Structure 1
Amino acid sequence: MQQQRLVFDGFTGPGLRGLFTPDRVAIERQDGGVVAERTAPRDAFAGHGPDTPWDQLHALYFAGYALWNYLTAPYLLTRPGVVVEELEPWREADEEWRRLRARFPQALATHSTEQAFYYNTAGLLRRHDYAPDVLGGTPAAHFSEHHVQASGLVFPIHRYVVPVQKDGHAASEPIPITIDLTGISVT
């Protein structure tokens, strides 16, 4: 977890991979030959609106930083420069969740500078709120379910994102993003 880096095998096609770091995204062949790349990838979102089309490198940057952040939480909250404070508990359906507000340093590629993490009484992440800068800052609630263990670490393998209403409660729809992870291993 020392550096933000993620590799997507098969990204955009067989024999290709997508590489994400905060300063560079690239689509490469397995031999390392570069098919496409972009330095300062976050800058490529400047001036984008909700209907602005993305290219493959936009998608690679978004998916790269998002998944890296999702898979490293809660350890992400212990990184240098991250400021965390506990908020009032939150009631969701029949459960009471502890909430943490995190403020992230600019050097960390993430959805937004300020985010909230909700943990149940077992200490499992259940909800994560943010307003992705690259999507115009629209507030979103990211729910996490079906936690599994891999090498002693716990990962939620079913995730979905819904809009946040003005009162802070999550809308039930639309569900623009779902993520189902399989075959998690830690090396």
Structure 2
Amino acid sequence: MADLLDLVLDAHGGLNRWRKARTIHGKGSVGGLLWSSRGQEGIFSSAEFTLDVQTQSLTYHDFTGTGLLGVFTPDRVAIEDPKGRVHAERSAPRQSFAGHGPDTPWDDLHALYFGGYAMWNYFTAPYLLTRPGVQVEELEPWEAAEGGWRRLRAVFPDDLATHSREQVFHYDASGLLRRHDYAAEVLGAPPAAHYTDAHTTASGLVFPTRRYVVPLGEDGNSLSAPVLITIDLAEVNVT
């Protein structure tokens, strides 16, 4: 396991660079069927965010309106203006998904919580796997069309806002992330496969710039449709 995790960390910029990074700033577009199914089509169609690499927090800029900030932490989400005035907020936001069905409409704060924790997880990986309390083990390789992908199974602690406690990450021969499997609890835990491509480098750290999420079959193979989420990153900067 240590050998694969070391390979993966090196492929994505190296552990020392990740430890020194403070913020990641990204711009892009997030789409897919999920948002329209929840009554939030287009809410992240022009997404700009800044996240704290070392602490789980993320801010969306111009969220739901020019100049407004969508602020995410695991225990609170809020829509604020630049002067810090709160337009809307919710404590213990994960609890607000209790009782939701597959088509339950979301409000802006539901979307902010999901979009906040998901993007923070995506863009801090694989450094995410070195956090205290995360348990990681290597699984048997997965035979993909592109060749054998090595896999890491991660079990996350309860204090981390993430899709599910258990997730599986697939890496190509060079150690780059190609697929990420999970079952998002706030969506009712349907199994999903999250594919990544078109990696780019920013300040020595490596990020996929194209992502899409599709359902995962019981046999472990992904389905071609529907495309639940797309993420196209146009710009990324690290400080």
Which segments of structure 1 move beyond 2 Å, counting only runs of 4 or more? none
Matched with 2:123 is 71
Of 79, 100, 113, 1:61 maps to 113
Alpha-carbon distance in structure 2 between the residues aligned to 1:94 and 1:4: 34
> What is the deviation of 1:2?
2.2
* Number of residue pairs matched by the alignment: 187
Alpha-carbon distance in structure 1 between the residues aligned to 2:91 and 2:146: 46
Structure 1: unaligned runs, 5 residues or longer: none
3-state SS of paired residue (2:112): helix
3-state SS of paired residue (1:68): helix
> What is the deviation of 1:87?
0.2
Greater per-residue helix proportion: 2
Alpha-carbon distance in structure 1 between the residues aligned to 2:114 and 2:199: 23
Cα offsets for 1:38-81 (capped at 9, x unmatched): 00000000111111110000000000000000000000000000
Of 22, 31, 44, 2:74 maps to 22
3-state SS of paired residue (1:130): strand
Alpha-carbon distance in structure 2 between the residues aligned to 1:72 and 1:34: 27
RMSD value, Cα = 0.6
Which letter maps to 2:213?
Answer: V
3-state SS of paired residue (2:199): strand
Matched with 2:61 is 9
TM-score, normalised via structure 1 length: 0.99
> What is the deviation of 1:31?
1.1
The yes-or-no answer on 1:141 pairing with 2:193 is yes
Matched with 1:91 is 143
Alpha-carbon distance in structure 2 between the residues aligned to 1:183 and 1:162: 24
> What is the deviation of 1:94?
2.8
Structure 2: unaligned runs, 5 residues or longer: 1-52
Percent of matched pairs sharing the same residue? 67
Alpha-carbon distance in structure 2 between the residues aligned to 1:61 and 1:95: 36
Alpha-carbon distance in structure 2 between the residues aligned to 1:157 and 1:5: 21
TM-score, normalised via structure 2 length: 0.77
3-state SS of paired residue (1:110): coil
- With a CA cutoff of 8 Å and minimum separation of 6, indicate the structure with the bigger relative contact order: 2
Cα offsets for 1:129-182 (capped at 9, x unmatched): 000000000000000000000000000010000000110011111101100011
Of 183, 195, 210, 1:131 maps to 183
